[in-house]
Amino acid sequence: MTELRCRKTEPLEGDKNEERQNEPGLQTGPDNYESLKTEDGGADDRSQQKNEGEVKEDESRHKKHRSNTGGASVQRSKGFSTSGFFQRLVRIFFGCLAAVACGMLYAVYLSTYHDRKFWFSTRQELEREITFQAGSGLYYYYYKHMLAAPSFERGLYELTIDNKTVSGQMINAVERLFLYPEIITSFIYRVTGSQDFVEPIYFYIGTVFGLQAIYVTALFVCSWVMSGTWVAGMLTVAWFVINRPDTTKVEHAIPLRDNWALPYFSCQVAALTGFLSNNISSATEMFCYLAMSATTLTFLLVWEHSHYVLFVQGLCLFLLDSFDLVPSRKMADIHKVYLTSLFLAYLFQFQNPTLLSSPMLSLLIGSVLARFFQQKMKIGPLVARVMKLFLHFHLVFTTGITFSYLVKKLVPVSEGDFILKFLEVKFGLNTTTDFVTNFLLCQESFQRPGQDFFLRLTQASVLPFYLLVLTVCMLSTLQTIYRRLSGQPMKSNNRLEDGQIGGQPEVIYHVFHTLFFGGLTLLFDGTKFLWTPHVCMFTAFGVCSPELWMTVFKWLKLKSIHPVVLSLILSTAVPTIIGLSLWREYYPRVLAELSDLPEYYDTDTVELMSWIKSQAPVAAVFAGSPHMLGTVKLCSGSAVTSLPLYSDIGLLRRSEDNYQVYAMRSAEEVYKILTSQKTNYVIIEGSICNELSLNKGCRIKDLLDISNGHAFYDKGDIYSFSKHGRFCHEIKMNYSPYTNYFTRVFWNRSYHVYKVNSVISFQY
């Protein structure tokens, strides 16, 4: 009844006079206006007062009704918004909970696996330190040194003027070895008073395992942000753990710089992904910017190869900017992050000249200058923009190469020319007999990956789905690039119905990212530890993203079933099926890895290190292979002639001199080489001297023979010839002239240690 009254009284204000004019007795023309006024004056006044009262009453009822209905609608909208906010909050809470749980479980798994593999908790301190393989124990030595110093400041000062590590040299160990992880960890151990309840070695490896937890959590979050569902994060972690031999080195060499650096790089990529996204608030964008700044600087400080990795990332962002796929404001902010991080890293690394000549800085300088001179590059028709684009590429790389050349002339960097020669030999543009170049080329990290690597990825179902996701995203990205070059604007908010997964800047970046690092992995096996984790994340994002399936259905022009509904179903069903199959096949294997572990115990190495600690003088200098010298330095603290650091050309040359004990050289020649490095003891390893390998060209003794001119080829086979026998074999015969220069002081099945005589005794 209230609604009816309201509708009846609504026309009173506007149509009241019109109704009266249409009535016969209410004509108000000039002929009868006076008679109407005199006859009906009193009645008209009474009826007017009555009508005004009714109108006011109806208007009050109408206002009351509108207030009631309006309040109800506002309450409904508030209820819907509150419900939506609560649902989002619940999803975020459970997603964060799942991310943290995955990281913590992975850290616990690594700790359990490490303890059972090496029987770590039952070993003595010396035996525990020997488990740090591949020469990585050298880094742990400096952690022990920082804890043994009288104060933190004194320990740090001694590292910057270290003359007890490399014989005859004073080095800045912080700059040379990137020791900030050990410095910060030792500082935290001191400040928190952890020495009261945890041993130093457990605190150290626990920190590394904690970083690995952050690593997988960052991959989880990155996949979650891109796909919109934390199921993608769960699938990412599952694939990461299953493909562990190809995603991390932490199981056998905990202190390696990679294990400290890659978690920060993963966090940086996750922050960059959020920063590039269009659908974020200003507060979230600022948080991503700050996180990206902090992780970029930390990444540069903890790994000597970090600026090369950021150079590849910079190329991906350079393409995004060139194709006008990301706002110029964001690219300017990213350039600020890179430049600021490089400058601060240069200062913290004691003016390390390598950072000044890094390709990353050259690319940044070229990009900034090219953007200044080509301010109208991103306007015009398609053909004109393509021509401007090629000119832009030429200008950027020409400027970058010129800048790098000038820096190397002003600040000599020994590694620059060597890297070029190395790449020439790697790609078959040149040949060389240089030992260091061939030695690096024979390292597994610099060789092409084997077929077993791709077979493992295929068996874990990663590679097939990765190729599907990459193909769809790459084709959609090419469509977006063509639209941008044709002048079409970039959509800020992509709907699911649009079917354009390649229209999102963060997705385009990850397409470039996986293509660049994938190409490097096909050339260098060591790059797989950067590429494979990203493959796990990128693939999980794709199969869990409704936008990817919607893009496929839009291309297929699916009409029989609603594509939006089908894409939502597949984005849930496909990862569920994959997850169940992985659980069924690999979960028992993971448990078996923890239960059926063979005992790892290197008796010969433990015996050798025990002898060095108890019998060798404190000031003795040892020579040997780089990996062995890293273990010697860790367990005894003695000075060594070289270090297991393959990014330092000077140390590699010293390692070449140490390896001459496995060459066809005379006793006098080897003696002169060792005494030039002030060597007191030389360690000869049977595994190198008697090395048997199908790839004969990569054995240490073969590389030495090629470098020394003692090798020749016949029908593809390598033959060695010299007037002297192989030193490591001849010295074991204990006859002159070898006994004149060297005296055997220790031996077991694997090692022979000889003292370099300070006074030559001629015995015949």
The confidence band for 20, taking pLDDT boundaries of 50, 70 and 90, is very low
Q: Which residues contact 571 (CB under 8 A, 6 or more apart)?
A: 227, 229, 543, 544, 545, 546, 548, 549
What would the pLDDT profile of 463-512 be if each residue is shown by its tens digit?
999 999 999 999 999 999 998 888 887 777 777 777 788 889 999 999 99
What would the pLDDT profile of 344-368 be if each residue is shown by its tens digit?
999 999 988 889 888 999 999 999 8
Average confidence (pLDDT) over 172-186 = 94
- pLDDT at residue 7 tops 90: no
Q: Which of 230-239, 714-723, 754-763 has the highest mean pLDDT?
A: 230-239
pLDDT for the residue 694: 66
pLDDT for the residue 611: 95
What would the pLDDT profile of 684-706 be if each residue is shown by its tens digit?
999 999 988 767 778 999 999 99
pLDDT for the residue 677: 93
Give the pair of three-digit tokens for residue 336.
């600020």
The mean pLDDT of the chain is 85
What would the pLDDT profile of 604-630 be if each residue is shown by its tens digit?
999 999 999 999 999 999 999 999 999
Average confidence (pLDDT) over 286-299 = 96
What would the pLDDT profile of 111-140 be if each residue is shown by its tens digit?
999 988 888 888 888 989 998 887 788 999
What would the pLDDT profile of 574-601 be if each residue is shown by its tens digit?
999 999 999 999 988 888 888 766 666 7
> From 1.10.20, 3.30.420, 3.40.50, 3.40.630, which CATH number describes the 603-756 domain?
3.40.50
Which alpha helices (H) appear in 277-327, and where do they start and end? 282-302, 306-322
C-alpha closest to that of 505 among 492, 518, 489:
492
pLDDT for the residue 498: 75
Buried b (16+ CB within 10 A) or exposed e, 363-383: bbbbbeebbeeeeebbeeeee
Contact 664, 729 (CB under 8 A): no
Name the more confident of 731 and 562: 731
Per domain, the residue ranges of the chain are 302-353+413-596, 603-756
What would the pLDDT profile of 376-403 be if each residue is shown by its tens digit?
777 778 888 888 888 989 999 999 999 9
Measured CA distances, 401 to 322, 364, 373, 395, 412 (Å): 19, 11, 17, 10, 16
CA–CA dist 418, 431 (Å, integer): 14
Describe the crossing of helices 180-191 and 282-302 by its angle, rounded to 10 degrees.
Answer: 110
- pLDDT at residue 443 tops 60: yes
Q: Give 3-state DSSP helix, strand, coil % of the chain, rounded to 5.
A: 70, 5, 25
Give the pair of three-digit tokens for residue 477.
């990205």
Give the pair of three-digit tokens for residue 693.
């390998």
What would the pLDDT profile of 632-678 be if each residue is shown by its tens digit?
999 999 999 999 988 888 899 999 999 999 999 999 999 999 999 99
- Ranges 20-29, 539-548, 552-561: which has the least confidence: 20-29
pLDDT for the residue 597: 66
Measured CA distances, 67 to 5, 62, 253 (Å): 16, 9, 72
pLDDT for the residue 61: 53
pLDDT for the residue 1: 36
- What is the amino acid identity at position 161? I
Pairing of β 621-623 and β 639-640:
parallel
How many CA atoms lie less than 13 Å away from 123 in the CB half-sphere? 22
- 27 phi and psi angles, rounded to 5 deg: -75, 135
What is the helix (H) or strand (E) element at residue 720, kind and residue range?
A: strand 717-720
What would the pLDDT profile of 37-82 be if each residue is shown by its tens digit?
334 444 444 444 444 454 445 555 544 444 444 444 445 445 556 7
pLDDT for the residue 540: 96
DSSP letter (8 states) at residue 495: -
Contact 140, 132 (CB under 8 A): yes
How far from the centroid of its chain's Cα atoms is residue 594's Cα? 27
Please state the pTM of the whole predicted model: 0.86
